[in-house]
């Protein structure tokens, strides 16, 4: 055997390569599920909890899924329930989940063979939505370098602030690094019991987190495109332009609407001064991108604010990003199609480019499949818990869109309800279309096409 490796290794590698060529989505979901299982096992160990007792399996599985799927929903207090080793395990799970299992497969292939093979390129192309195989190597470097640089920059800004607030050097570094990784990866986990509520008016703490969440939600293809052409915005590709403009518009609209509903709410924004209200509104407008952090009690918010958050969370962030949801480009394409239909245009156009009809079909499919999943999960939880629809819907969309915001009902759900949210987080992270591709036995190619006939719509 080459280099003394056993035959089982090579046969296993051939099987993986064959599966990667035939169904990379199915392979990716299998590997992703394995990663969740590993971290669930680690968090089930006695050393992972602060008390030294084993965590219940459902809590360990829920936390592992939430970490690897970069969601942030929790069933136990993160900062007090888990030990330092447990928190480090969660942090590692966040980083692995954010990079994406298929991206990690490419990195592993690069480390083993010193080059990126065709199989690994196909894997990462499926994960990152990169269409040209030649861009994959550059994208991988961008994923790693961008993550480390931006996380380091956020941590470097936060650490001095925590020192000024009286924290020790060790705690300041720990809090800075934890919040930096959690923010950039849109994870929403917090290392302390009180969370970010004490910093509701602290621009020094919250602004870096806002920027980190927003950049992380754009997606690495956008960062790669902008990074290579940052001096010439006019040459950015259509995907980058749609992602940036739609994301910015959603942040502005979300912040304004949240401020309008919460301005006089004594349980949220009313006690704040003007600068504090502006900061809290901006923070609340960005976090549904999939950030999952909160500076006020979500459970005390107006029901109208919950509905706004439902819509923002369902849309989510950019494609191939650490965010979930149906993605902002999906929303953009459907809105552009509505505008084109209203004008009577045959083509859907934006920024001097024509969007193919196949993109609209995929956008519609993603939206309808996602809405169906949310509907089914909401019905299940309504039957399991007996809680009101507004709270159930908020929690379901938060889990599916891997956001992590909560009205406070998740820790009190019965085990069956927790398993429903676990499934939602996993499906939301792997993607509805990826899951559908993985479950499909084969694709159909039809030679004969039926005559066209237009049904009456509306």
Residues 332-388: tens digit of each pLDDT: 999 999 999 888 888 888 888 898 887 888 888 889 999 999 999 999 999 999 899
398-417 pLDDT, tens digit per residue, is 999 999 999 999 999 999 99
| 172-188 as b/e: b if 16+ CB within 10 A | bbbbbbbbbbbbbbbbb
At residue 347, the pLDDT reads: 87
Q: Number of folded domains in the chain? A: 1
Contact 428, 399 (CB under 8 A): yes
Does residue 453 fall inside a structural domain? no
At residue 49, the pLDDT reads: 95
Under the banding of pLDDT at 50, 70 and 90, the label for residue 271 is very high
The more confident residue out of 142 and 307 is 307
Looking at residues 93-116, what average pLDDT do you find? 61
Q: What is the Cα–Cα distance from 420 to 415, expressed in whole angstroms? A: 9
The more confident residue out of 141 and 340 is 340
Give the count of alpha carbons within 13 A of 189, CB side only: 38
278-314 pLDDT, tens digit per residue, is 999 999 999 998 888 999 999 999 999 999 999 999 9
Lowest-pLDDT range, 115-129, 196-210, 251-265?
A: 115-129
Looking at residues 420-430, what average pLDDT do you find? 92
Under the banding of pLDDT at 50, 70 and 90, the label for residue 111 is very low
Using alpha carbons only, give the angle 437, 438, 440 rounded to the nearest 5 degrees: 65
Q: What is the Cα–Cα distance from 282 to 287, expressed in whole angstroms? A: 9
Under the banding of pLDDT at 50, 70 and 90, the label for residue 1 is very low
Does residue 433 fall inside a structural domain? yes
Does residue 454 fall inside a structural domain? no
Cβ atoms within 10 Å, residue 202: 15
Give the count of alpha carbons within 13 A of 390, CB side only: 13
Is the pLDDT reported for residue 100 higher than 60?
Answer: yes
Q: 348 phi and psi, to 5 degrees?
A: -95, 120
At residue 125, the pLDDT reads: 57
What percentage of the chain exceeds 70 in pLDDT?
81
Is the pLDDT reported for residue 104 higher than 90?
Answer: no
Is the pLDDT reported for residue 105 higher than 50?
Answer: no
Does residue 456 fall inside a structural domain? no
Under the banding of pLDDT at 50, 70 and 90, the label for residue 436 is low
The DSSP line for 157-172 is: HHHHHHHHTT--HHHH
Is the pLDDT reported for residue 325 higher than 70?
Answer: yes
Kindly tell me the sign of the dihedral angle through the C-alpha atoms of 350, 126, 309, 359: positive
Is the pLDDT reported for residue 112 higher than 80?
Answer: no
Is the pLDDT reported for residue 73 higher than 60?
Answer: yes
- Rounded to 5, what percent of the chain is helix, strand, coil? 70, 0, 30
Does residue 45 fall inside a structural domain? yes
* Helix H or strand E segment including 124: helix 118-128
At residue 128, the pLDDT reads: 58
Does residue 444 fall inside a structural domain? no
The DSSP line for 410-425 is: GGGS-HHHHHHHHHHH
Lowest-pLDDT range, 105-119, 211-225, 372-386?
A: 105-119
The more confident residue out of 106 and 91 is 91
The more confident residue out of 56 and 439 is 56
The more confident residue out of 395 and 126 is 395
The more confident residue out of 227 and 296 is 296
**pTM, two decimal places:** 0.88
Q: In sequence order, which ranges of 291-387 are alpha helices (DSSP H)?
A: 303-315, 328-343, 357-385
Query: Given the structure tokens 């019991």, which residue do they identify?
Result: 193
Looking at residues 437-457, what average pLDDT do you find? 63
The more confident residue out of 323 and 64 is 64
At residue 38, the pLDDT reads: 95
Q: 170 phi and psi, to 5 degrees?
A: -65, -45
Does residue 447 fall inside a structural domain? no
Does residue 59 fall inside a structural domain? yes
Is the pLDDT reported for residue 163 higher than 50?
Answer: yes
Domain that holds residue 391: 15-439
């Amino acid at each position: 055997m080459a280099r003394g490796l056993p035959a089982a290794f090579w046969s296993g590698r051939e099987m993986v390569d064959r599966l990667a060529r035939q169904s990379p989505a199915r392979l990716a979901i299998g590997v992703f599920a394995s990663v969740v299982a590993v971290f669930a096992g680690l968090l089930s160990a006695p050393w992972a909890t602060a008390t030294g007792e084993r965590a219940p399996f459902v809590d360990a599985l829920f936390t592992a899924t939430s970490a690897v799927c970069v969601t942030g929903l929790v069933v136990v207090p993160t900062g007090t329930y888990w030990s330092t080793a447990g928190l480090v395990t969660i942090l590692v799970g966040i980083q692995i989940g954010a990079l994406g299992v298929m991206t990690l497969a490419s990195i592993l292939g690069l480390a083993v063979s010193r080059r990126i093979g065709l199989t690994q390129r196909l894997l990462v192309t499926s994960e990152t939505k990169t269409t040209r195989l030649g861009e994959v190597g550059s994208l991988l470097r961008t994923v790693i370098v961008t993550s480390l640089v931006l996380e380091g920059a956020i941590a470097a800004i936060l650490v001095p602030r925590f020192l000024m607030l009286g924290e020790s050097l060790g705690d300041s570094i720990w809090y800075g690094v934890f919040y930096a990784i959690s923010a950039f990866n849109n994870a929403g986990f917090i290392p302390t019991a009180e969370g970010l509520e004490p910093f509701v008016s602290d621009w020094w703490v919250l602004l870096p987190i806002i920027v980190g969440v927003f950049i992380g939600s754009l997606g690495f293809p956008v960062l790669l495109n902008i990074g290579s052409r940052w001096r010439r915005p006019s040459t950015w590709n259509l995907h980058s332009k749609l992602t940036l403009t739609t994301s910015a518009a959603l942040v502005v609209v979300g912040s304004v609407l949240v401020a309008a509903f919460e301005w006089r709410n004594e349980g949220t924004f009313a006690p704040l001064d003007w600068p504090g209200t502006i900061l809290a509104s901006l923070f609340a407008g960005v976090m549904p991108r999939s950030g999952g952090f909160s500076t006020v009690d979500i459970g005390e918010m107006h029901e109208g604010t919950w509905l706004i958050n439902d819509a923002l969370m369902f849309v989510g962030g950019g494609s191939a990003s650490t965010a979930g949801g149906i993605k902002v480009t999906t929303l953009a394409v459907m809105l552009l199609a509505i505008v084109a239909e209203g004008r009577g245009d045959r083509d859907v156009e934006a920024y001097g480019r024509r969007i193919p009809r196949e993109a609209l079909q995929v956008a519609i499919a993603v939206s309808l499949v996602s809405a169906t999943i949310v509907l089914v999960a909401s019905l299940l939880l309504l039957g399991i818990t007996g809680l009101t629809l507004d709270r159930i819907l908020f929690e379901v969309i938060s889990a599916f869109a891997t956001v992590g915001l909560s009205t406070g009902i998740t820790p009190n759900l019965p085990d069956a309800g927790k398993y429903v949210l676990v499934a939602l987080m996993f499906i939301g992270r792997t993607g509805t279309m990826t899951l559908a591709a993985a479950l499909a036995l084969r694709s159909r190619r039809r030679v004969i096409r039926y005559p066209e006939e237009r049904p009456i719509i509306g």
